Structure 1
């Protein structure tokens, strides 16, 4: 894998930051460390990293707010690094669009492996999984533009999707009317089935359903098949351009 990627580390703890920066640099990545969110925001106008590692306990901003901004506005892949091990913290982070979650303490080898996995997955984006002539798709009243992350309804109103929502929607659109288990979805998303649990898929799909304005009690597009998984029930048409 080409490791000439730029990685931003937003971590206020100097000791932990040193470990992360040294580990990534030794693995061949270009690394820039920020001790707080303000310093990162100031640089973001002229510096766009390929991946961000975000500590939740930043001194000047809730790390989850930064994750939301990176995922929903800037569409920059990000991994949460946090001392919080509670299931709810991980689920909230994934729901907001984080690509992975690493709990402290961690081994350097695990960190590098997770970073490479996310970079490999986000690098395998529309250019490979959706050919250029098939970057637009329609289903029911919706049109999705995978190149711009734009979901548009029949009134030309746009709904903003984050990267994780786009990735899951892409999985469904390429497999309409197919029953997909949670483990299959994880595999299609190129996530580690052992370290990413089924509940994270449920959370992401729930968020996607909200964006699609689904009835929570009786969803028509993404149906739950209890005990089995999910089925995308809409007809999909790809638009060649």
Structure 2
């Protein structure tokens, strides 16, 4: 199933690196192992499908490496770390990592999560117009407040002309809200449409969307948190 997909692994513990590499290779993946972030970055002339990054690297902050890797097109990024604090997990996801696995870990679960990331990458590389269901009567452009969202291009445009392109996950989440304006959507409802391993991904993506939409993301006016219930888009939506 892996079709010899190339995986990059950066890990300063040789025993863990050997364990991960052997398990991935057992399921048909090709693995290149690096001890430092600089070595991995220098090897990006050959693009891997997924990079697995340890945060405790000897030459650089692993989160900085994650930031640089997520700027690359169509590379999956997974964090594999002994740092299991909530701030690290949230920051890693906010920087764009696709998954976060804490040590100690089950090698077979890691392989399953690598496969899940690759499936999401394949899904998101399809033409955008085939991924997202439009709004009312097949219309794909939503207008609300001072914003216009084009679900075919994943682009938010403000009345002033300011533009922002959403990630695939952010777009899926915003579309759910736009298709049910002034209705409370529970976390369970939102998670059903999100192909992610972590419940926290909803909060992280909601935070990113608010930073793009809201005048004051810390006191949101458009996307309300209804404590104990979920989220609500507190404005009308017109589809074109």
TM-score by length of 2: 0.80
Distance 1:135 1:29 in 2: 41
1:81 alignment partner in structure 2: 80
Structure 2 unaligned spans of 5+: none
Determine if the alignment matches structure 1 residue 64 to structure 2 residue 50: no
Residues 50-106 of structure 1: per-residue CA shift (max 9 Å, x gap): 221111111222111122223345452211100111122111111222111100111
Distance 1:149 1:41 in 2: 29
Distance 2:152 2:55 in 1: 29
Q: Is the 8 A contact 1:82 1:104 kept in 2?
A: yes
1:227 alignment partner in structure 2: 228
Residues 170-194 of structure 1: per-residue CA shift (max 9 Å, x gap): 54445555432222322211234xx
Higher relative contact order (CA 8 A, sep 6+): 1
- Change over 3 Å in CA distance of 1:114–1:207 after alignment to 2: same
Distance 1:20 1:13 in 2: 11
For residue 59 of structure 1, give the secondary structure of its aligned residue in structure 2.
coil
Match of 1:189 among 174, 185, 194: 194
Q: Is the 8 A contact 1:164 1:204 kept in 2?
A: yes
Distance 1:135 1:61 in 2: 47
Q: How does 1:66-145 map to 2 (within 5 A)?
A: 66-125=65-124, 126-127=126-127, 128-130=130-132, 137-140=141-144, 141-144=146-149
TM-score by length of 1: 0.79
Residues 186-207 of structure 1: per-residue CA shift (max 9 Å, x gap): 2211234xxx24x442233123
Shift of 1:144: 5.0
Distance 1:185 1:105 in 2: 30
Shift of 1:137: 3.9
Determine if the alignment matches structure 1 residue 25 to structure 2 residue 25: yes
1:215 alignment partner in structure 2: 216
Q: Based on CA coordinates, which of the two structures has the bigger radius of gyration?
A: 2
Give the alignment's Cα RMSD to 1 decimal: 3.0
2:207 alignment partner in structure 1: 206
Count residues in correspondence.
232
Structure 1 unaligned spans of 5+: none
Shift of 1:113: 1.4
Tell me whether 70-79 or 15-24 shows the greater mean CA deviation: 70-79
Shift of 1:135: 11
For residue 102 of structure 1, give the secondary structure of its aligned residue in structure 2.
strand
